[in-house]
Structure 1
Amino acid sequence: MNLKEMLNVADRIVLEKTGQHLDDLQEAVLRGTLQRETYKEIAKDFDCSESRIREIGSELWQILSEELGEDVSKSNFRSTMERLQNSNALNFANNVSSIFNICAEGRHPPNIPNSHPPNQETSNRKQSQISHQDLSEMPDLGDFFDRPLELQTLTTWILQQRCRLITLTGISGIGKTTLAVQLVQQIKDEFEYAVWYTLDEFPTIEKFQSNLIQLFSNSEKQDSSPTHQKRLPLIKYLQNHRCLIVLDDVHNLFCSGEFAGKYKPECEEYRSLFKQIEKLSHQSCFLLIGWEQPREVTQVKSQNTSIRTLQLKGLDIAAGREILRDYGLEESDNSETLIHRYQGNPLWLKSVANLIQDLGGGVTELLPNDTILLPEDLKDVLQQQFDRLSELEKQIISLLAKESQRINRTKLLENDRIPASDLLNALQSLSRRCLIEQQANFYTISPVLRQYAIAYAM
């Protein structure tokens, strides 16, 4: 059973006992429990006191325990729901399988007394969800290395906190799109519409909005006659329907040779769209994926807004070893060093592992000491990101690449060739591009970027 099925079953049990469906807080407690959140975390997600969440939980466990004839608690709720699939413990239903068909068929079980007649609008919505998904541009999942914390964070932001605009950023190859694909596959059925668009090098807003509105118009079966067809502004559709819209490669909206997040002249209207998505009331969510994010998003720091940003980091050692295992390198004594050296970046690890495999050598032989290999395909990827930098950012990268240790910001500001204000703006931009690392007032770049900058960019 998936999360949605468990919540539907719990809802039917509570409905039979109380005559009412789960309210928002009750559902939040059950959902959080299934996602292994503590009461404190659930309370924080729902902006509620922990004591109130505990009280609601206690009431729910009592109801479930009485109806199922066994002790149900926060610790065993998931396992109890899973056992119901092959159990006759529901004393109010003659055929428990009908409960589990609710999720697939959008109808009430026929043998439950006092069940309400099917809500036609809800039923139609569930039956038409598949036709409302345009995921033709979404890549195949391929190799996915589990990122449970990141998935849980994004799911919470989207489904529980109802965030309207979320950006998923990170350096090239870090796994942003793969994570987003996994996320969409898990939550798409929670929405009336789920759409994935990959922005090409010429992402005109007219094309994007036209395609999206066409999808809404077709699904609503509007009269196709030009004299009767009335298309609404995009924001109206987002207000009328619960939509998940993913925009991949959002960095194509921004200029090369400028600081991060500056819109191309022909893409300025996206700024207005994103501001509408943030400011106006609606029930939809935009997920933006790319090397850069809009400046209006980076300016928002408060968690009380409907905007969130997740910067993706590298894989852990266990996941990195899974990659190396595919190339016959998992037994290497230096595999952990290799993963750290390439910062757990899936694309970087695959590139260097493939080179080592082709050369028929080993990690110790081909990567002695602190050696960094830069295969041609990896250089091509890095070149794409370096080409986007302003001249001032390239100077900063050059300064950082010459230092083997972290550099204090005070020392950088002593550089009399770069005005202090310009230098600070460049540091901010490089940080937004995920090309430099900052700890307190110290800055550095990764070994891979340092090697590339010294050999090819300086």
Structure 2
Amino acid sequence: MTLIPQNFLKQVASSYGVSDTELEVLSKALLEGESIATIATQLKLKPETVRKRLGETYRKFQILGKGPGKMAKLQQLLVALYQEQSQSEEFLPQTAEPKTSSLISRQDWNAAPDVETFYGRTKELSQLSQWTLTNRCRLVALLGMGGMGKTTLAVKFAKQNADKFDFVIWRSLRQKIPLRSILTDLIQFLSPQPLSNFEDIETGISQLMEILRSNRCLLVLDDVEMILSCQDLAGYYGDGFTDYGKFIQRIAEEPHQSCLILASSEKLKDLGQLEGQKVRSLQVIGSEEISQKILAERGFVVSKDWVSLIERYGCNPLAVKIISGMVQELYAGQVGDFIKNTLLMGDVRSLLDQPFQRLSVAEKELMYWLALEQQPINLSQLQEKILFPLSASELLEIVGSLGRRSLIEKSQKQGQIYFSLQPVVMKYAIEQFVYQVDEELVRLIKNQDLEGIRLLKLYPLEPSENSKKHYSILDLVMNRLRSRLFTNARGLNLAIKRLEESLSNLQEQFFEGEYITQNLENIISAIH
């Protein structure tokens, strides 16, 4: 018999993931000193069932070896834990709560943000519980645009369910951490005894996999998009990070009792091939419920104008926080004035700067087409409009890449799939397009730079009287150009002269299917 209190044993066993039936057997063996045969008789079990439950208990406490010495090792471990707790409690004030077991030391939240206020997401939390706790999924990916609340959701779920895991560990890849460093970090935290340093990545992954098989661990990797390639199609690993592909594949395919949660604004290219019963992905989308609660917390009454504005920003919680702050500070709470006086505000624009900068050239040019359309369009319609050479399979690949970035939306009409942009993404893409077209025009007017013209060749600038669209792209381009070059009559006349010269030079050449000549004619007409 040992002098470990029953309540302490129960507390520690729970933190190590020992089940009630395993604890019942352990208590008989450890606290009462009963033999396997006696325990089997008392609990009306087969001796092999008792041995199996004790074996599971040894495994969860990471007691290695064979034979009766394992019970002695477990007893030593528990006595040490009990003495450590008892000594720490001697120094606590009388009113202080005694320390719990080593559960807190078995959780490492690292850079996980504090979640003081959490709204909604009941359905998402329930789905994560189903996959992670009930179905025992090995890998779950949380995907969505920046600001949607992937990180907040992951923190909330992990903290709500930390007691159901032996270990919880959170790491962010924002600083582009190599896999070797992550593996070393995880192994050092999760292993009860030092393991030999691994020479190659495969050995390190194997060491971690052994720990994940022996323990019920919840690992969370946030900001996964940071290790993915930039200015390439979405979901491919960047230089120096391809080993993460092997790591994630082994987590997904090999049997173990742990779960890895990935939070990313880009879906890994190979995740689709891995998805199944043990690998799931959850798209974290905008929430009108959360958006309205954010407004209510800030003292706003949710009017029709607010509902309209929330929808324009895709019910993105972070965007709603930003714009509600601006309405308070800059517009005295008058949301109607805010709507009239802005297209896209700076702080909201910054939410899309990073994902847009990560796009490949082909993705940006397709985004411009979707933005200029300002309405859903199917692939065959897109292929008819675009001028740069692109096969149907290439177009499908680019659209798929934008989907992995959560930048496009799909809808179905009469059996066909249509693609469009969220209103806030469309506004951003239009702003970027107008800025780039303006730069091309300035170079053309100042330097007669026909070689630097691309967007003016590939996209039409329709006059507002010919367009039924909400935004007239030509008007937006002209407004920007006027503010830069047409500040006096001399500048205006010079611009007209240079553009007419460029148009004349272009008309002498043969430009089949290109929009440049019509665009210049429309711009010259708009100046007059």
TM-score, shorter chain, exceeding 0.5: yes
Change (3 A) 1:222 1:418: same
- Residue 354 of structure 2 corresponds to 384
Letter in 1 for 2:166: E
- Residue 203 of structure 1 corresponds to 177
Root mean square deviation of aligned Cα? 3.1
Inter-partner Cα distance in structure 1 for 2:29 and 2:342: 66
Which digits, 9 at most, give the CA deviation of each residue in 1:130-173, with x for residues without a partner? 32211122110133112110001011101111111111000010
- Residue 428 of structure 2 corresponds to 452
User: 1:332 and 2:303 equivalent?
Assistant: yes
- Residue 189 of structure 2 corresponds to 215
- Residue 470 of structure 2 corresponds to none
Letter in 2 for 1:174: M
CA contact (8 A) 1:293 1:432 kept: yes
Using the TM superposition, give the Cα deviation of residue 116 of structure 1 relative to its aligned residue in structure 2, in angstroms: 4.5
Inter-partner Cα distance in structure 1 for 2:374 and 2:406: 19
2:398 equivalent among 417, 426, 433: 426
Inter-partner Cα distance in structure 2 for 1:445 and 1:238: 41
Percent of aligned positions with the same letter in both sequences? 34
- Residue 314 of structure 1 corresponds to 286
Inter-partner Cα distance in structure 1 for 2:343 and 2:272: 34
Change (3 A) 1:153 1:418: farther
Inter-partner Cα distance in structure 1 for 2:371 and 2:304: 28
SS at structure 1 position matched to 2:310: helix
- Residue 243 of structure 2 corresponds to 269
Q: What does 1:246-325 correspond to in 2, within 5 Å?
A: 246-301=220-275, 303-304=276-277, 306-316=278-288, 318-325=289-296
User: 1:149 and 2:119 equivalent?
Assistant: no
CA contact (8 A) 2:162 2:168 kept: yes
Using the TM superposition, give the Cα deviation of residue 403 of structure 1 relative to its aligned residue in structure 2, in angstroms: 1.4
Q: What does 1:24-423 correspond to in 2, within 5 Å?
A: 106=14, 116=28, 121=58, 127-217=101-191, 220-222=192-194, 233-301=207-275, 303-304=276-277, 306-316=278-288, 318-359=289-330, 360-368=332-340, 373-414=343-384, 415-419=386-390, 420-423=392-395
CA contact (8 A) 1:292 1:432 kept: yes
CA contact (8 A) 1:174 1:313 kept: yes
Which of the two has higher C-alpha Rg? 2
SS at structure 1 position matched to 2:147: coil
Change (3 A) 1:255 1:357: same
Inter-partner Cα distance in structure 2 for 1:333 and 1:159: 41
CA contact (8 A) 2:143 2:266 kept: yes
Change (3 A) 1:235 1:225: closer
Unaligned runs of 5+ in 2: 1-5, 31-53, 62-77, 82-99, 435-528
- Residue 95 of structure 2 corresponds to none
CA contact (8 A) 2:11 2:101 kept: no
SS at structure 2 position matched to 1:444: strand
Inter-partner Cα distance in structure 2 for 1:300 and 1:102: 38
CA contact (8 A) 1:356 1:362 kept: yes
Task: Name the TM-score, length of structure 2 as normaliser.
Answer: 0.61
Inter-partner Cα distance in structure 1 for 2:167 and 2:343: 44
- Residue 409 of structure 2 corresponds to 437
Letter in 1 for 2:308: T
Q: Which has the higher helix share?
A: 2
Letter in 2 for 1:294: L
Task: Name the TM-score, length of structure 1 as normaliser.
Answer: 0.69
Using the TM superposition, give the Cα deviation of residue 258 of structure 1 relative to its aligned residue in structure 2, in angstroms: 0.4
Change (3 A) 1:116 1:401: same
Letter in 1 for 2:408: I
Inter-partner Cα distance in structure 2 for 1:139 and 1:457: 35
Which digits, 9 at most, give the CA deviation of each residue in 1:337-381, with x for residues without a partner? 22222121111111111111111141223214xx86422221122
Change (3 A) 1:361 1:242: closer
Unaligned runs of 5+ in 1: 1-97
Change (3 A) 1:224 1:300: closer
- Residue 62 of structure 1 corresponds to none
CA contact (8 A) 2:229 2:236 kept: yes
SS at structure 2 position matched to 1:143: coil
Using the TM superposition, give the Cα deviation of residue 249 of structure 1 relative to its aligned residue in structure 2, in angstroms: 0.2
Inter-partner Cα distance in structure 1 for 2:110 and 2:235: 27
CA contact (8 A) 1:332 1:363 kept: no
Inter-partner Cα distance in structure 2 for 1:321 and 1:264: 38
Which digits, 9 at most, give the CA deviation of each residue in 1:315-341, with x for residues without a partner? 13x322211123332243422222222
Using the TM superposition, give the Cα deviation of residue 423 of structure 1 relative to its aligned residue in structure 2, in angstroms: 1.4
Using the TM superposition, give the Cα deviation of residue 238 of structure 1 relative to its aligned residue in structure 2, in angstroms: 1.3
Using the TM superposition, give the Cα deviation of residue 128 of structure 1 relative to its aligned residue in structure 2, in angstroms: 3.7
Inter-partner Cα distance in structure 1 for 2:318 and 2:195: 48
Inter-partner Cα distance in structure 1 for 2:351 and 2:167: 33
Change (3 A) 1:132 1:235: same
Letter in 1 for 2:422: S
Inter-partner Cα distance in structure 1 for 2:383 and 2:225: 29
* Higher RCO, Cα 8 Å, sep 6+: 1
CA contact (8 A) 1:372 1:448 kept: no
Using the TM superposition, give the Cα deviation of residue 102 of structure 1 relative to its aligned residue in structure 2, in angstroms: 5.1
Over 3 Å off, 4+ runs: 98-108, 115-129, 221-226
Which digits, 9 at most, give the CA deviation of each residue in 1:298-329, with x for residues without a partner? 2345x43x11000111113x322211123332
